[in-house]
Every structure is written in C-alpha cells, then in structure tokens.
Structure 1
Amino acid sequence: MKKHIYSHLLLLVAVLLLVLSCNHDDEGGPNFPEGSTESVNLWVQDSMRRYYYWADQMPAKPDYHLPVKDFFKSLLSPQDRFSFAVDPQAPSSYPRSVRNMYGFDYAVIQLPNGNIVTTVKLVMKNSPAFNSGLQRGMMITKINGQAITASNAEQLTSSIKDQTVIDLTVGNWKNGSVADEKNIKVYYGYSFEQPLESKIFEKNGKKTGYLYVYDFPDGMTSVLNQKFALFKASGVQELILDLRYNYGGSVSSAAALCSLIPSNITATSPFIVYKGNKNGGEVKRTFAQQIAYDPAALDFNTLRANALGLNKVYVLSSNSTASASEIVINNLKPYLQVVQVGDVTLGKDMAGFMVEDKRKPKKISWQLHPVIYKVFNANGEGAYSNGIPPQIAANEFTALPLLALGDSEETLISSALNSIYSKSAGKEVLDKGLKILFQSDTPSAAIGK
C-alpha cells in the first residue's frame, strides 16, 4: 500500500514539474536575477517576440549571456538593415555618423579623367560644421592630415566617429582643381532643428514652389501650413519637394505634407496601411487619422485650407531618401502623378515605434527601435526594399562645384525645372564616366530612422 501511494506521489511530482516547465516556456525563458544582463536580455527577447516584424525568424535558443547590444543584434533577421537598440545611460550605445556628430556629409567621387575628389554635399544649419565655416560645394582634401583616397575613405569615416574634434583641409573647386586650401577644425556637438527652406521660381508666367525638407519631426504642421499658405497666395502652379537628404521621421508629419498637395482627397481618404506580425496584424489609417496621431498637429481640415490642389508633384531623391520621405513618394501616387528626379531611394519600406520599459519605477533603461510594420499606400503598393527608382535619373555630382540647395541652376533642381518649363519629359543628367566611390551617409556609414 505504501509502495502504491509512493508511486502516485512520484507521478504527481512529475506532472507538476511538467506543468511548471510548460508555463515557464510560455513566459519566454528562464528566470534571471533582476538587474542582471540576462534579465535585460530576456525583456528584449519578450519585447521583440511581441512587436518585431520578423519575430517568427528569431532564434529559439539565443545566448542570454551576451552584452545587451550584441544580444539584440543576434535576434535580427538577415533582411533587417534598420533595427537598433540604445541605452540612454550609455552614450556609446548610440549609432554614430558624421552627420549626427558633426552636422555634415560628403561624397568621394572619381571624375571622368580618373582624378578622385571629395566634395561636401550637406551642411546642416547651426551645426558644428556650419559654425566652423564648412559649406556645401567645398572640397575636402585631407581628414586629420590624411589625403582621402578610394581605399581609405570608409576607414577615415569610421575613425572620425570615435573622435570629438576633426581637422579638415578644405578648398574651393575652380577650373577643374582645388584652390584656396585652408585648415579648419570641426568639434563634436549638437545640430539644431533644421528649417524648411522654400523658394518660388517663375518663368513664362508659371510659378513653381520649391520646398527643401531635411526631416520629418513631430510638430512641424504649423510651419508646413505657413509655407503652403505662402505658395497658395503667390499663385504657385507646380511644386518641387527636395527630399534628397531626408532620412525620415514622423509618419504623421509626412502625412501632413502629403495632405497639402493633391486636389482630390478628404479627411477619410486612405493614406497608409501598416502590416505587422501575427500580433500587430494590419492597421489602416486615413489622412486625418495619421495626422492626428501627432497630438501637436494642426488638423486635416485646417491644413487643407492651404492645399495647392495639384495633379503632379516633383520629388528630388537620392540614396539618402528614406523611410517617411519614401512614404511621401509612394503614398502620394494614388492621388496624383509623382515625378521623381535624382537617384534611387534607400529602400526603407517599413516603420516602427520605440519600445521601452513602461513600469514605474522603470527597471530597464534600454530603448528598442525595431522594424514593426511594412508600409503600403492606398492601392496596396509597397515592397520597395530595393529603393524607389526615379523617372528622371540625375546625378547631383555631374557639375562641380555643387551649388546651394535652392539655386535654380543646381543639377537636380534644374532637371525638374527643365521638365516643368519645357515640353520634353525631362532629360537624364548623368555622366557615365563619373563614379561615386563612397558617401559618408551610406547605410554602412549611417543609421536609417
């Protein structure tokens, strides 16, 4: 009898252990001491299982003992170029780029005659680079005393991300060579929010508005509204959007910009479709809904009062045109003709939001920025991970020195203006003998938003 009871007890213990084991697996993994690296990694894994677009591709048995940033990377799909994680308590965990550290970008190009030159293509307003006197169109001959070559350009770019001050030898492009060389120092520092820059070009009585949009921060609807009110009051009939260096940002701000352009939309017109994993499902938003997602935004009807009501828009693009700026290109297409001028875009056909510990008090400081959704327009069109190609191919480095953004003779702007003011569809502006060897804001050198 005792033997029989003992056997039943063993069976009961075995069943309890099995149940505990199953519950334990359902919770996502083993228990680790609070505050340990392993416990943080377990939170990262649980968060990614819930939100990550490629959650079904995550490894079943990751190494919880890895440093948090390495653990996060170990969960990512090979298709994922954009997800990242940062710890606000550890500045070194943040992605670094020449642009976000110093406020400028450059391109190393090989000219048709074989010479290799480096030109400054972007200088952010009120940035360390701007304050040092650097300007778009200047040529860089040396970085920290080293002449720039095709073989060392990427290594030099990587090295200056680990410094707090860089020495540049710069000059001006005159008669096919660099002149007036001088040395300048650029210190690591903060770049203030970038202004929207606008101009109005006129020829044969037709007015064309030009708007340079550096990025899409939340809360930009008021300034967008002001710019379009000016365009409308001035009788603008055509529009050029310059998104060539726009990494993206707020989809709500991008939707607000889109709402100010076409004629045939209402508050209930579909703007975007988000498609996530099995947990995220499919989310559809109208123009009004997406704009209102930013609590500081002007509402759809207020913006529409200054809409231009166009049936065509020109968008200037490059390999740095990404994310929300690609959404502008793709999601306007159901409502008007989009004529893209420049180069193929980066190909970030996805969106997400920051995932963080919401407990009070917060126990984990890390912030995750995973890819959560693929994005599509009102017609269900998307899947542009290889970038969106232009209708009018143009290389802004064809003519040196690079002219200021907003100059009517600048290569991409003049290509769009030629299409607007002539009867031709626009000519390709390419020099087959010119090669872009390296750019400081390429995906390997910069972080997408």
Structure 2
Amino acid sequence: MKKYFNFQLLLLLVVSLFILSCSNDDEGGPGFPDGSTESVNLWVQDSMRRYYYWADQMPAKPDYHLPVKDFFKSLLASQDRFSFAVDTMDPSSYPRSVRNMYGFDYAVIQLPDGSVVTTIKLVMKSSPAFNSGLQRGMIITKINGKTITAANAEELTSSIKDQTVIELTVGEWKNGSVENEKNIKVYYGYSLDQPLDSKIFEQNGKKTGYLYIYDFPDGMTPTLNQKFSQFKAAGIQELILDLRYNYGGSVSSAAALCSLIPSGITSSSPFIIYKGNKNGGEVKRTFAEQIAYDPHALDFNNLRANALGLNKVYILTSNSTASASEIVINNLKPYMQVVQVGEVTLGKDMAGFLVEDKRKPKKISWQLHPVIYKVFNANGEGAYSKGIDPQITANEFAKLPLLPLGDSEESLISSALNSISLKSAGKHALDERVKVLFQSDTPSAAIGK
C-alpha cells in the first residue's frame, strides 16, 4: 500500500531486494507455544541479535511478556532514531504522518515582527491534498477550527494522524497578511508515485539544469536516464539537485543518479562501504554492483552514456533530506565538488533491509525494519549522524509566499544560481530573523513514535 511504502522510504533504506527469513529455532531460549506473544518476541530477539547494528547493546534478559511493539523498542540502543516494527495484520501499527496520510507538509514560522504564520511547504502531486486544491505557499490559519500557534502546532499535528478527514482554513499571503481565506477539506488517502521535475535555467550564457527528486524508488533509472539525456543534449554546464524533501529509498537508485553526474568514474569505481555488526561485517560495492541490486535498473554502462561529466554539483537540502539523499551528498564527494545549499540534513548515516518470517505457512505477521549497517563513501568518510552541514546556509522560509519548486526566484534555487553566477547567496536566503518553530515532517512528527 502506498501510504506504508512511503514511510518505509522515510525510515529505512532498502539495501537489497531479497527478504530474509528468520526463525527462532537456531538461537535457543525459553520454550513458548507458537502464536503466543512470547514466541513472537523471541523471534524478534533472535532476528535482532543476528542483524541489528547495535546487537551487542541489547539487554541480556528482556521481558518476553511485553506487547510486541514495546518489546521491540526495549531492544533498541539509545542512539537509534530509526528502527521500527509493524504488524502486517494491524494497519494501526504502521507509522503515520501528515505527508503519508494526506500528501502535504507545513511549517510554523516566526517572522521578524514576531508574528507567527503556518505555510504549506510541500504538496505531493496526485495526492489527497493536491486534489483538494492545496498549493505550496498557501497559509494555514486553522486546523479543524483551531487557530495554529507555536504552542499547539505539535499537538494539532499529532491529532491529524488519528483522523480520516481534516478541515483547513487557508489563505494567500499578500502584503504581509493573509487574504482570501477559505475552508478546504482533505480526506485521508493514497498518493501516487511522484514525478521527476526538471528545468533548464540560462543566465549570462550559462545553462544550469535543475532536477527535483522526491524519493529514490527502485526502478527509477530509465526516468533518470531520460532526464540526463535531455540535459546533455541541451548542453548544460551546471547542475542543481533538489533533495530538500527527499527521505531516501533505494541505495541502487541513488547510485544510479550519482553515476550520471561526475567525470572519471568506471564500473569498478568504489561507491559505498557498509559496516555491520560481527555477523554482517564489512561490504564494499562499486557503482556497477550497487546499481545492479535493482533488477529493473539500466546497467552502469547504459547510464554513463548520458553522464554529464561535471566537476561540481549543487544540492539543495533541508532537515528532511535523509538516507539515500545523504548518501548522494556524501558519496559524490570523492569524485567531485559538492556544494550543499540550504539546511543541515537529518543525519541518517545508516541502512538496512526488511526482516520477516518467510516460513510456509507463515507463523509471524510482524515485519522488522532495523538499522543494520552504517554507510561510508569510497574514502571511508561517514559518521554524519548529526547531519551534513551545507556550504551555503539558506532559509527556505526567508521570504513569503513560498514560490513553486523550480522557480528561479525561490529561496534555495536562487541561492544556488547566485553562487553559480559568482554573486552573493542572497540577503533573503540568509535572513536569520525568520525562525522555524515547528515542521510537520520533523523526526518526532514524521516517525510518530
């Protein structure tokens, strides 16, 4: 189901397409009857001992009588922000967020005069929010009749996750105030796969390609290849990747993107290093090897035919840039100059794969999504759990209303274009008087723990 698929992309990278089978037969332990909560918890413990990155920090004597979700959480290391478990027979066990359920996100910001406004920052194409008429840049004044404030924003966001329809009062930002307010109902539903949006900017005789990438699903290489074929045919000299809302996804798709940008790489060029626990050890993969883990991907040589051969790339980021997106940033650095524009990223320097019971008949309906590897680039550089810092700090919310993604005057894009043309990053982009008080896709809001 699409709503669950999106959250799997948010919270955990899919390193490989195979799904591992686990049983509790080879680990020993207390004998519990099949189907009992205790037997499921024993399976969870055995699986985590085998794969979990912090397996050596798991408690020696956990409480097998806890509900499964609580038992799973009791095994997690204190520094683990991302591992989660779901019961495929219980939809309520899946994480929820505003974006996942309704297809949009918003930010509560404080303006230089001290006033607080809530602006829609993302509306997914073909989503319930999109179909209801919401647009990026609109101002939300009320949620279900309640005026949004800095104090109640998180509580209102949390309440949205428990509903199937929400009513928003929205308006347009004009001359420093909200005008043309109206009520819009948004119904809980699915969002379709998001398209890649591209543009070509031309200034001072220099062509700059712009590519907005919402996520990294498997099977996206043909579309990536087509976009870069168009860029190459147009003769672009600079490239801006917009990953500001990209939670991640397939490492293979991220590797495919990376293979299309720099010069001087070959199929044997190292791309990524995975470091796991004592069972997982260390795994190194080249560009070609990582791309090939997606059975639907074009191979490395086909992709390289449309590579741009650049020595510099600009990447737009925010606190929502995570996982595979951060791998793109970190793993391109050994091969070219990466100029990051925007905010520090989320800091998910890790990866994993889905663990579930594949016995026939299946005895356990739970799926585990544990952190299994820490990830590093070809130079062995990683360890960015606190996020990756930008070279050009830019505030997306420095100027209202927010302009459409792809507009050359939009804050982050204009900061990158100004840098390309050797101008300043722009006073609006660097205006620190505008403060972000809350965002609906912050880790606590998005993960729903």
TM-score > 0.5 by shorter chain: yes
Partner Cα distance (2:378, 2:101) in 1: 37
Partner residue in 2 for 1:366: 366
- Answer whether contact 1:53 1:372 (CA < 8 A) is retained: yes
Q: How does 1:204-219 map to 2 (within 5 A)?
A: 204-219=204-219
RMSD over aligned CA atoms reads: 1.4
Does residue 105 (structure 1) correspond to residue 98 (structure 2)? The answer is no
Partner Cα distance (2:25, 2:267) in 1: 46
Does residue 320 (structure 1) correspond to residue 320 (structure 2)? The answer is yes
Partner Cα distance (1:105, 1:428) in 2: 22
Partner Cα distance (1:283, 1:41) in 2: 29
Is there any run of 5+ residues in structure 2 with no aligned partner, and where?
A: 1-23
Letter in 2 for 1:314: Y
Partner residue in 2 for 1:412: 412
In structure 2, the CA distance between the partners of 1:203 and 1:290, relative to structure 1 (3 Å rule), is same
Q: How does 1:302-321 map to 2 (within 5 A)?
A: 302-321=302-321
Q: Deviations over 1:280-339 (max 9, x none)?
A: 000000000000000111000000000000000000000000000000000000000000
- Answer whether contact 1:392 1:428 (CA < 8 A) is retained: no
- Answer whether contact 1:392 1:427 (CA < 8 A) is retained: no
Partner Cα distance (2:84, 2:177) in 1: 41
Q: How does 1:169-188 map to 2 (within 5 A)?
A: 169-188=169-188
SS at match of 1:44: helix
Greater relative CO (CA pairs within 8 A, separation 6+): 2
Partner residue in 2 for 1:13: none
Letter in 2 for 1:62: P
Partner residue in 2 for 1:47: 47
Q: Deviations over 1:22-43 (max 9, x none)?
A: xx99824201000111111100
Partner Cα distance (1:138, 1:425) in 2: 25
Partner Cα distance (1:311, 1:292) in 2: 25
Q: CA deviation at 1:430?
A: 2.1
Partner residue in 2 for 1:14: none
SS at match of 2:444: coil
Q: How does 1:41-190 map to 2 (within 5 A)?
A: 41-190=41-190
Q: Deviations over 1:163-206 (max 9, x none)?
A: 00000000000000000000000000000000000000011221
SS at match of 1:445: helix
Q: Deviations over 1:148-176 (max 9, x none)?
A: 00110000000010000000000000000
Partner Cα distance (1:108, 1:424) in 2: 27
Letter in 2 for 1:326: E
Letter in 2 for 1:177: S
Letter in 2 for 1:180: N
Structure 1 window deviating more from structure 2 (234-243 vs 417-426): it is 417-426
Does residue 277 (structure 1) correspond to residue 269 (structure 2)? The answer is no
Partner residue in 1 for 2:36: 36
Partner Cα distance (2:113, 2:29) in 1: 61
Partner Cα distance (1:212, 1:67) in 2: 41
Partner Cα distance (1:45, 1:428) in 2: 51
Partner Cα distance (1:338, 1:87) in 2: 40
Does residue 399 (structure 1) correspond to residue 378 (structure 2)? The answer is no
Partner Cα distance (1:305, 1:101) in 2: 39
Letter in 2 for 1:85: A
Letter in 2 for 1:390: P
Partner Cα distance (1:314, 1:26) in 2: 49
- Answer whether contact 1:402 1:410 (CA < 8 A) is retained: yes
Partner Cα distance (1:397, 1:424) in 2: 18
Partner residue in 2 for 1:388: 388
SS at match of 1:279: coil
What TM-score do the two structures reach when normalised by structure 1?
0.93
Q: CA deviation at 1:395?
A: 0.3
SS at match of 2:374: strand
SS at match of 1:379: coil
Partner Cα distance (1:278, 1:272) in 2: 19
Partner Cα distance (1:150, 1:424) in 2: 32
Q: How does 1:342-361 map to 2 (within 5 A)?
A: 342-361=342-361
Partner Cα distance (2:428, 2:329) in 1: 19
In structure 2, the CA distance between the partners of 1:242 and 1:25, relative to structure 1 (3 Å rule), is closer
Letter in 2 for 1:393: T
Structure 1 window deviating more from structure 2 (117-126 vs 416-425): it is 416-425
Q: Number of residue pairs matched? A: 425
What TM-score do the two structures reach when normalised by structure 2?
0.93
Partner residue in 2 for 1:197: 197
Letter in 1 for 2:147: A
Partner Cα distance (1:173, 1:434) in 2: 16
- Answer whether contact 1:416 1:426 (CA < 8 A) is retained: no
Q: How does 1:404-443 map to 2 (within 5 A)?
A: 404-422=404-422, 429-443=429-443
Partner residue in 1 for 2:259: 259
Letter in 1 for 2:367: Q
Letter in 2 for 1:283: V
Partner Cα distance (1:190, 1:235) in 2: 38
SS at match of 1:319: coil
Q: CA deviation at 1:434?
A: 1.4
Q: CA deviation at 1:429?
A: 2.4
In structure 2, the CA distance between the partners of 1:153 and 1:426, relative to structure 1 (3 Å rule), is closer
Structure 1 window deviating more from structure 2 (422-431 vs 276-285): it is 422-431
- Answer whether contact 1:419 1:426 (CA < 8 A) is retained: no
Is there any run of 5+ residues in structure 1 with no aligned partner, and where?
A: 1-23
Q: CA deviation at 1:426?
A: 7.5
Q: Deviations over 1:360-391 (max 9, x none)?
A: 12111111000000000000000000000000
Partner Cα distance (2:276, 2:28) in 1: 20
- Answer whether contact 1:108 1:437 (CA < 8 A) is retained: yes
- Answer whether contact 2:120 2:135 (CA < 8 A) is retained: yes
Q: CA deviation at 1:421?
A: 1.5
Larger Rg: 1
Q: How does 1:213-232 map to 2 (within 5 A)?
A: 213-232=213-232
